[in-house]
């Protein structure tokens, strides 16, 4: 039985030792309904299209209209998977993001209200570049170990913006991933094996006064791979596992070729047959990311969803390794193990339909949408209705209004 070897041993506050499986019970993503084609963007920027489609591994890029901000995207990612019972049981909402809309108020408070979650709940926002949702997951596991009947909603939501005509423009994107964490999860158990590593570097950052990220592109690529090497080496030492123990790996994908570079760094450790098998799984893990672009905190989990939805040969009991990287920087390597019946919990058809039903923007229209801004002087702006369940409806007196 997989369950037996995965069960957490947790000593609660009265000293009783309990065993339980904790992990992902449901997961779902949202991306706005408009995108720009990467070949068209390349032509407009006088770049070989193959640089974007092969060199970076991106075919489409999601664009966030002004009506979709990180709050509305977070709510849009979560609502399709939540039942009334879930909303009652959730007593903790964690939103991981590096696109915060307020320096003080957590986006999770808006999301809590929009989703109609039990009022006796905690709501916080976490930040460490693209890593925050991972620490959100680990925090959720600890919370449930202490409060086994509760459920935690972890949402990663971001809009990746580098600016028009910048070298980072080709790695923008927008979207959110929602994960419901509980005991006896129906998708995957989160194993207690995480190895994290922190170092103070400037590879990618966004000062408070800037709407665009600052980035040292080449350095960020190098650090992503260097942190992978560090956490993987330590992980092997602590767990005695090898690459052969994993059925698949999911990587943080700022652009999908980055994960391929990470995978190629590890592959020489296994034989040719296993290399081919892991590469095939990697291809499944980047299908959605190629069409969405970078969604920062959610990118690793979008890749996990892509893997689960698109891979043909994953089975209960398979262990998947995850590499989380947040610039600045924190890296973490950990694993999850799929449980019996996980396929029944996937929203693969709705994910596919969401991507297929999007509208392609011309590069000129993308540029116009990209440059739209909310007033910053307290004046009122009423936005027109979009087609999503939740949207930003406007701003007034420096407050955001949602619908």
Annotated catalytic residue 372? no
Could you say which of 36, 38, 41, 56 contacts ligand CAA (CB under 6 A)? 56
Based on the shown chain and the rule CB under 6 A, indicate whether residue 294 belongs to the binding site for ligand CAA. Answer: yes
Q: Of 18, 59, 118, 221, which one interacts with ligand CAA (CB under 6 A)?
A: 221
- Interacting residues of 81 by C-beta distance below 8 A, sequence separation 6+: 26, 27, 28, 178, 180, 347
Among 171, 281, 319, 335, binds ligand CAA (CB under 6 A): 171
Give yes or no for residue 134 binding ligand CAA (CB under 6 A): no
How far is residue 241's CA from residue 216's CA, in Å, rounded to a whole number?
34
Catalytic residue among 28, 98, 332, 351: 98
Q: Has 252 been annotated as catalytic? A: yes
From CA 237, how far away is CA 254, in angstroms rounded? 28
Helix (H, G, I), strand (E, B) or coil at 107: helix
**Integer Cα distance of 21 and 196 in angstroms:** 22
Query: Rule CB under 6 A: is residue 206 a binding residue for ligand CAA?
Result: no
User: Cα 97 to the chain's mean position, in Å?
Assistant: 9
Residues 6+ apart with CB under 8 A from 355: 31, 288, 291, 292
Among 35, 79, 224, 227, binds ligand CAA (CB under 6 A): 224
Q: Given the complex with ligand CAA, which of 323 and 390 has the nearer CB atom?
A: 323
Active site residue 143: no
Angle (CA) 25 312 353, round 5° = 70
Q: Which of 170, 285, 289, 324 binds ligand CAA (CB under 6 A)?
A: 170
Q: Which of 28, 110, 112, 252 is catalytic?
A: 252
**Least gap, CB of 233 to ligand CAA (angstroms):** 19
For the bound state, the minimum distance from the C-beta of residue 50 to ligand CAA, rounded and expressed in Å, comes to 3
328 touches 187 (CB < 8 A): no
How far is 205 from 98, CA to CA, in rounded Å?
9
What lies within 8 Å, CB to CB, of 262 at 6+ separation is 224, 225, 228, 249, 251, 323
The verdict on 168 binding ligand CAA (CB under 6 A) reads yes
Binding to ligand CAA, residues 30-49 (CB under 6 A) = 48
Nearer to ligand CAA, 185 or 331 (CB): 331
Q: Name the one range near ligand CAA by CB under 6 A: 54-62, 144-152, 193-201, 333-341.
A: 54-62
Q: At which residue do the structure tokens 């037996």 appear?
A: 4
Residues belonging to the active site: 98, 130, 252
Question: Which positions touch ligand CAA (CB under 6 A)?
Answer: 48, 50-51, 54-56, 130, 167-168, 170-171, 203-204, 215, 217, 220-221, 224, 252, 254-255, 258, 294, 296, 325, 327
């Amino acid at each position: 039985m997989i369950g037996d070897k995965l069960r957490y041993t947790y000593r609660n506050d009265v000293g009783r030792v309990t065993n339980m499986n904790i992990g992902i019970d449901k997961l779902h993503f949202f991306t706005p309904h408009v995108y720009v084609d990467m070949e068209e963007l390349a032509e407009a920027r006088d770049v070989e299209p193959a640089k974007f489609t092969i060199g970076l591994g991106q075919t489409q890029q999601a664009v966030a209209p002004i009506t979709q901000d990180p709050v509305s995207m977070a709510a849009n990612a979560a609502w399709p998977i939540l039942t009334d019972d879930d909303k009652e049981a959730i007593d903790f909402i964690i939103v991981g993001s590096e696109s915060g809309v307020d320096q003080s108020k957590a986006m999770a408070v808006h999301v809590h209200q929009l989703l109609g979650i039990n009022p006796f709940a905690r709501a916080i926002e976490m930040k460490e570049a693209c890593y925050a949702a991972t620490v959100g997951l680990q925090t959720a596991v600890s919370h449930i170990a202490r409060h086994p009947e509760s459920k935690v909603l972890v949402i990663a939501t971001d809009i990746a913006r580098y600016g028009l005509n910048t070298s980072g423009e080709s790695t923008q994107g927008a979207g959110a991933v929602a994960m419901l964490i509980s005991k006896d999860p129906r998708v995957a158990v989160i194993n207690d094996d995480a190895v994290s590593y922190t170092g103070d570097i400037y590879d990618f950052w966004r000062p408070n006064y800037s709407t665009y990220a600052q980035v040292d592109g080449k350095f960020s690529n190098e650090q992503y791979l260097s942190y992978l090497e560090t956490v993987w080496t330590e992980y092997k030492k602590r767990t005695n596992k090898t690459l052969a123990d994993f059925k698949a790996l999911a990587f943080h994908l700022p652009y999908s070729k980055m994960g391929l570079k990470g995978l190629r760094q590890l592959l020489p450790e296994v034989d040719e047959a296993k290399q081919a098998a892991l590469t095939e799984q990697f291809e499944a893990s980047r299908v959605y990311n190629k069409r969405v672009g970078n969604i920062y905190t959610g990118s690793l989990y979008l890749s996990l969803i892509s893997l689960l939805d698109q891979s043909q040969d994953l089975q209960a009991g398979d262990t998947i390794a995850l590499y989380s990287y947040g610039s600045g920087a924190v890296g973490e390597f950990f694993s999850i193990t799929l449980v019996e019946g996980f396929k029944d919990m996937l929203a693969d058809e709705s994910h596919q339909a969401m991507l297929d039903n999007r509208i392609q923007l011309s590069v000129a229209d993308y540029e116009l949408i990209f440059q739209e801004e909310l007033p910053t002087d307290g004046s009122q702006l009423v936005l027109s209705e979009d087609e999503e369940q939740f949207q930003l409806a406007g701003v007034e007196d420096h407050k955001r209004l949602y619908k």
